[in-house]
Structure 1
Amino acid sequence: MRRSDVLELLTLAALWGGSFLFMRVAAPPFGPVALIALRVAIASCFLVPTLAVRGGMGALRTHWPHLLAVGVLNSAIPFCLFAYAELTLTAGFTSVLNAAAPLFAAIVAFTWLGERMSSLRVLGLAIGFIGVIVLVGGSSVIDAKQGGVAVAAALSATVLYGVASSYTKRFLTGVPPLAVATGSQVAATIVLAPLAYWLWPAQTPTGSVWLHVIALGIACTGVAYILFFRLVAHVGPTRAVSVTFLIPVFGVLWGILFLGEQLTLNMVIGCAVILLGTSLSTGVFAPGKKADANATPAASEKDSLLRSSR
């Protein structure tokens, strides 16, 4: 890859890793639902004009029922679950849990779409879930009942990402990824708006908290999608999707630098094992097999943007 491509890849990972930092700060004062409603609304305001300039608005009208489903499965519910989890869990810990999403995506694709599961992929799933056990089992944050519920919420979000990935492949194959991204954010906004009105905090937060909300919507969602599409065009989908493995690194780093979070040994070991399992189960790392990084994006590779975008 060119130096500029590497820089864009790192920037994208930093933005998606930063989403956990911003949710950790803004979720308590806003509440999970109100925060995520603002996130997807701001992202929609950024993405809709971009899609319109590229002449892709027709896809929203044609595929709106499926885009609505993806918006609920991939954004509205899981984003809220992660925001709820971060009322208790640290940003770094939650970003590592998020790395398990491709594991569930592989399982859902196998059970729903009948995708072939090689012995190597099965081994990857086993390794990945051992990593989750190491991560959660060695953490003091889940000793309390509230911490256990938060972990369950975060893992439930990763399951929904897996369902959304297969749903997208089943019903939206061939639809431009930017249209899927835009339509899903608009749909999530429509679904969450009435709930956000009902659950809006009694006292609207002011000051720097709004900067975190705006950054979450524009930088971590809108700008991040655009960067991802640029990377797919410049270096191919396989290399672009490698951003998934960098997100926990930045999620943990931002938590340490800006929130004073602690990096524990079980987080390091759990993250490493989860990412190893993910690389095997998704086929990103296949010993003895050389992938064509510049190949035309397959449907499953396009779906990976949904699994990566947090």
Structure 2
Amino acid sequence: MPLARHIPALLILGVVWGLTPSIVKAAMAGGFAPLGFAFWGAFGSALILSVLCAKRRLAIPLDRPHLVQYAASGFSGFALANFAGYTALQHIPAGFFALLVPLSPILTVLGAAALGMDRLTPARITGTLLGFLGVALAMAPGAALPDAGLLGWALLAAITPVGFAISNIVASRLAPRGTDALVLATGALYAAAFFIAIFGVLMGQVHWPGAIGWRVEWLIPFQAALTAFAYLLYFRLIAATGSVITSQTGYIVTIAGVLWGAALFGERMGWLALPAALLVFAGLWLVTSRR
């Protein structure tokens, strides 16, 4: 069974991505501008993967199909998603953000069905409704969102799984056949850094290394290394299993994100967070399971 064979990689990817909201939250608290931190995370990880490409003597193609894939994946799955997520994480708990992640595979299946890449069944429709109901419950008082006044920031954060879903479909549909996953990841991250740099200049969120002190700046290489590793693993899973199985990391990201938030920031969720998470997981299972 394809999923069983790739469970270790899915677990590792989920734990790494589950840590990301806490790293971002720490960076924002330390004085980073959201787009400034996002740019160096993307550019730094692209440089790391470029070194790996050079060692393996892999060229990064710059023909039109590859550039389209780089741009679409980098913009949706990194630039757009991280702009929304990094900005919102200045205000919302990392654990709540982690509860939004399973919307990505749910939206992935819906998007794939709309494009004729997959089939929409009654079970998947039910799962979609359960997933959105779970997220709505997580935003209620006494759940994962501590204050109703943060609802606007929560809705902004919800753009992140939309970007991830678009990236899942793009990676599966547009990736040129035969291109190494390492090359695809590298190109997408350079494209992401390009778009974020433009947004950062326009919004006045350019960050120069050393501007806020190295007690916080060490998060840049740390995040870059994690992003490089996660993106490489993500593209390898996409190539090996497709977007639906890769989307199963949503379970692990949510659990890991809640645990990281509790361990690093002492976040505690209300009693409604558990039924909210169960609804989201039930929806995710119905949407992505197959007969």
2:69 pairs with one of 66, 69, 72: 66
2:159 pairs with one of 133, 156, 159: 156
Which residue pairs with 2:146 in the alignment?
141
CA distance 1:165–1:9, shift in 2 (3 Å): closer
Which residue pairs with 2:219 in the alignment?
212
Which residue pairs with 2:184 in the alignment?
180
Distance (Å, rounded) in 2 between the aligned partners of 1:10 and 1:87: 27
Which residue pairs with 1:243 in the alignment?
249
Q: Alignment partner of 1:269: what SS?
A: helix
Which residue pairs with 2:28 in the alignment?
27
Whether 1:37 and 2:39 are equivalent positions in the alignment is yes
Whether 1:15 and 2:16 are equivalent positions in the alignment is yes
Deviations 1:149-172 (A, max 9, x none): 211111112122222333333322
Which residue pairs with 2:48 in the alignment?
46
2:121 pairs with one of 100, 118, 123: 118
The percent identity for this pair of structures is 22
Whether 1:127 and 2:134 are equivalent positions in the alignment is no
Distance (Å, rounded) in 1 between the aligned partners of 2:238 and 2:139: 33
CA distance 1:176–1:117, shift in 2 (3 Å): farther
Distance (Å, rounded) in 1 between the aligned partners of 2:224 and 2:85: 15
Which residue pairs with 2:273 in the alignment?
267
Which residue pairs with 2:168 in the alignment?
165
Whether 1:81 and 2:84 are equivalent positions in the alignment is yes
Deviations 1:245-291 (A, max 9, x none): 11111111111111111133222221222122112212xx33xx3xx
Shift of 1:231: 6.9
Which residue pairs with 1:304 in the alignment?
none
Shift of 1:107: 2.1
TM-score (norm 1): 0.79
Distance (Å, rounded) in 1 between the aligned partners of 2:224 and 2:132: 31
Q: Which amino acid aligns with 2:83?
A: C
CA distance 1:226–1:107, shift in 2 (3 Å): closer
Distance (Å, rounded) in 2 between the aligned partners of 1:279 and 1:124: 7
Distance (Å, rounded) in 2 between the aligned partners of 1:229 and 1:68: 15
Distance (Å, rounded) in 1 between the aligned partners of 2:47 and 2:97: 27
Q: Alignment partner of 1:137: what SS?
A: coil
Distance (Å, rounded) in 1 between the aligned partners of 2:241 and 2:199: 39
Contact residue 121 and residue 281 of structure 1 kept, 8 A: yes
Q: Which amino acid aligns with 1:141?
A: P
CA distance 1:280–1:266, shift in 2 (3 Å): same
User: Is there any run of 5+ residues in structure 2 with no aligned partner, and where?
Assistant: none
Q: Which deviates the most, 16-25 or 108-117?
A: 108-117
Contact residue 96 and residue 267 of structure 1 kept, 8 A: no
Contact residue 95 and residue 251 of structure 1 kept, 8 A: yes
Distance (Å, rounded) in 1 between the aligned partners of 2:139 and 2:98: 13
Distance (Å, rounded) in 2 between the aligned partners of 1:68 and 1:230: 19
Q: Alignment partner of 1:30: what SS?
A: coil
Distance (Å, rounded) in 1 between the aligned partners of 2:140 and 2:94: 18
Distance (Å, rounded) in 2 between the aligned partners of 1:66 and 1:230: 15
Contact residue 112 and residue 166 of structure 1 kept, 8 A: no
1:280 pairs with one of 268, 286, 289: 286
Q: Which deviates the most, 126-135 or 111-120?
A: 111-120
1:107 pairs with one of 90, 97, 110: 110
Aligned residues: 279
Contact residue 25 and residue 94 of structure 2 kept, 8 A: yes
Q: Which amino acid aligns with 1:207?
A: W
Q: Which amino acid aligns with 2:196?
A: L
CA distance 1:8–1:101, shift in 2 (3 Å): closer
Distance (Å, rounded) in 2 between the aligned partners of 1:172 and 1:112: 16
Shift of 1:212: 2.4
Shift of 1:242: 3.7
